[in-house]
Structure 1
Amino acid sequence: MTDLDILEAVLKNLGGGAIAVSGGVDSMTLATVAGHIPNTNFEMFHALSPAVPAHATARVRDFAKREGWRLREIIAGEFDDPSYRANPVNRCFYCKTNLYGTVSAHTNKTVLSGTNTDDLSDYRPGLDAARDHDVCHPYVEAGISKAGVRAIARYLSLIDLADLPAAPCLSSRVETGLRIESNQLTFIDAVEKYVARHISAHTVRCRIRKNEVAIELEAGALQALEQATANHLRDVIENMMRTESIAKPLSFKLYRMGSAFLHKAVDG
């Protein structure tokens, strides 16, 4: 049996569920596969939030229309949670607690996530929240990794999903311990979009740190960044920073995955 066969068997056995879709490859592929299985009852939930980029919400809405999903958009309420806003090392626990709690309040179906087997080997506080809410992880039950998810998306000709780069929520760009502010997430999203439009880069991250705002690019893009382009980007971004009252120095740096996450904060 292929990974897709096993996944379909897992979903068919469930018979239905409430799939939390973020707009990323994992949850979107899961929802698409589930939506194609006859005699099942799946509905999709998408949380509207300052931490979710507008293009991710647009992608969810486009797929819902294209695939005929029963999509429900919700406000999970994490920005009303002081624990989430404080941005501790386990911020994701509070995010997912609010998400799964809100989904569960809207349906009596089992909540399903796009967690894959690769996620189990990483530090994922959100998995603790999933455990608290009895969330089901079909990819994990089927033994499917991130590469397996992408392979399924390609097999189903979902090329727009298969090639999506990793896209953690916008709050992940804010250094651990700095309060999460919605206007700063809007700023981060706008900066990343602007930079991506003006240079050729696979990955662009705008990080807000305690002592700086850092624009991180992969090695090739950083090395190819011409001085004139860098100066132009600096002028535009610094003007955006002034508009949002962000008074920090700006730098261009090499991309490091999760570099705003300070795990040491757990030890103080």
Structure 2
Amino acid sequence: MFLDKMQQIKEALSLKSCVLVAFSGGVDSSVLAALAHEALGNKALAITINMHSLPEGELQIAEDIAREIGIRHKVMDFDEFTVPEFVENSPKRCYYCKRSILGLLLEVAKKEGSEVVIEGTNITEMQGNRPGMQAVAEMTKRVISPFLQFSVSREEIRQMAKHMGLSVAGKPSSPCLASRIPYGKKITPEGISRVKAAEKYLFTLGFIQFRVRDHGDVARIEVKSSDFPAVIERKEDIVNEFKRLGFHYVALDMEGFRSGSLDEASK
């Protein structure tokens, strides 16, 4: 029962003198931040990493939900382009990036007098390709994943969010924009900006769950199959905008929206 797991997590966190929460403003980290705040009050601090590849609007969402929860909140700037392995964009990109971010968070935690950094990976996520979890595993004892510790699934986290009345309970996941660029293709600030602008445009058209994958000259749009008619209806506008952004061709992926589609080519 998810309520029992909520209580177990709060009891475990209450044993800490203070904690730092890796806080993106997504459902997982928001539930974790809310539980930490309930367990520790002002001894819990949420840190949001502001980086170039953060999707449009996500920083504002994080700031809003932190206020909603009532947790202390800070934003830390991070330039992922200073990490060579991030730019090279190998299948282990997330490992190198997360290792750098966790290092930054641990520095902040030390300054704040925090025992540990807690992060929101859940057991459902462990079923896919998650090189970033290697970085977490290497920092055991200093970085803790309560949802893994208490076997909490993605669905249970959403149940927790609804139970706690969090406004992000139904929010789709929104991973960093580097996940839109195929492995092996170097990541550039210009490439990230182009993807960000393309996705921002689709959002203004009313689409909620989607990805724009950048294949160089080709933009591959992933939306839910139920949104196919809406894309076709606005195809002229979408094509014109995407070509203005520098794409030569615009394709609608007939398999529809799915997380981690670029991992399919690396299997």
TM-score calculated relative to the size of structure 2 = 0.88
Aligned CA RMSD, in angstroms, stands at: 2.0
Q: 2:136 aligns with which of 119, 124, 130?
A: 130
Contact persistence 2:14–2:39 (CA under 8 A) = yes
- Show the counterpart of 1:48: 50
Q: 2:200 aligns with which of 193, 211, 221?
A: 193
Q: For residues 87-126 of structure 1, what are the structure 2 equivalents within 5 Å? A: 87-108=89-110, 109=114, 110-126=116-132
Confirm or deny that 1:230 pairs with 2:231: no
- Show the counterpart of 1:250: 250
Output the CA distance in 2 between the equivalents of 1:101 and 1:38.
23
- Show the counterpart of 1:37: 39
Query: Over residues 134-191 of structure 1, what are the superposed CA-to-partner deviations in whole Å (9 max), with x where a residue is unaligned?
Result: 3100111122111111100000111x21101121111101111111112222221221
Contact persistence 1:216–1:256 (CA under 8 A) = yes
Output the CA distance in 2 between the equivalents of 1:60 and 1:171.
19
Q: How many residues align?
A: 257
Runs of 4+ in 1 over 6 A off after TM superposition: none
Unmatched segments (≥5 aa) in structure 1: none
CA distance 1:38–1:224, change in 2 (3 Å)? closer
Contact persistence 1:17–1:43 (CA under 8 A) = yes
Amino acid at match of 1:190: A
CA distance 1:226–1:124, change in 2 (3 Å)? closer
Output the CA distance in 2 between the equivalents of 1:214 and 1:121.
25
Output the CA distance in 1 between the equivalents of 2:33 and 2:150.
15
Confirm or deny that 1:173 pairs with 2:180: yes
Confirm or deny that 1:183 pairs with 2:190: yes
Output the CA distance in 1 between the equivalents of 2:154 and 2:261.
21
Contact persistence 2:129–2:263 (CA under 8 A) = no
Contact persistence 1:18–1:112 (CA under 8 A) = yes
Q: For residues 21-32 of structure 1, what are the structure 2 equivalents within 5 Å? A: 21-32=23-34
Output the CA distance in 2 between the equivalents of 1:92 and 1:56.
19
Output the CA distance in 2 between the equivalents of 1:70 and 1:147.
27
Output the CA distance in 2 between the equivalents of 1:76 and 1:112.
19
Query: Over residues 112-135 of structure 1, what are the superposed CA-to-partner deviations in whole Å (9 max), with x where a residue is unaligned?
Result: 100111122222111111122231
Unmatched segments (≥5 aa) in structure 2: none
TM-aligned CA deviation for residue 63 of structure 1: 2.3
Output the CA distance in 2 between the equivalents of 1:13 and 1:163.
30
User: Percent identity over the alignment?
Assistant: 24
Q: Secondary structure at the match of 2:144?
A: coil
TM-aligned CA deviation for residue 105 of structure 1: 1.5
